[in-house]
Amino acid sequence: MQQEPMQNQSNAMTQPPEVVSVKDHLYLQDMLSWNLLAMKKAHFFAEQCQNQELKMELEKAGQMHSRHYQTVLSHLQPNQSQTQPPLQ
C-alpha cells in the first residue's frame, strides 16, 4: 500500500484554538513534566561531576530544558508572555 504525500502543509494554525482538548492538555502537561525533569536531572548530575567541561555541558543542557519549559508555559499564559521576558 502506497502512502499519499501529506497535503495541506501550508495550512498552519496562526491562532490557538478556543478550547484545548483533553488529549492536548495531557500532552502539554507531559511536555512540561519532561522538560522540568530533564532540567532537574541535568543540574543534579552537573553537581556530581568532577570534569569541568562535562559539568558545563550538563548545565547548558539543563538551561536549555528550562528555556523550553518557560517557552511552553508562556504560550499557555498569553497575557503575561507579552509583559514579562522569559526566565533564563
Which residue is it, cell 509583559? 83
**Would you state the pLDDT for residue 22?**
92
Structural domain includes residue 60: yes
Residue at 25 is within a domain: no
Give the residue numbers spanning the domain of 56.
39-73
Determine, yes or no, domain membership for 54: yes
- Within a domain: residue 24? no
What contacts 39, CB < 8 A, 6 or more positions away? Answer: 62, 63, 65, 66, 69
In a domain, 10, yes or no: no
In a domain, 85, yes or no: no
| 48 located within any domain | yes
By three-state DSSP, how is residue 16 classified? Answer: coil
Q: Model-level pTM? A: 0.68
Asked whether residue 69 is domain-assigned, the answer is yes
The domain tally of the chain equals: 1
Q: What pLDDT, on the 0 to 100 scale, is given for residue 81?
A: 43
pLDDT tens for each residue of 14-59? 777 778 889 999 999 999 999 999 999 999 999 999 999 999 999 9
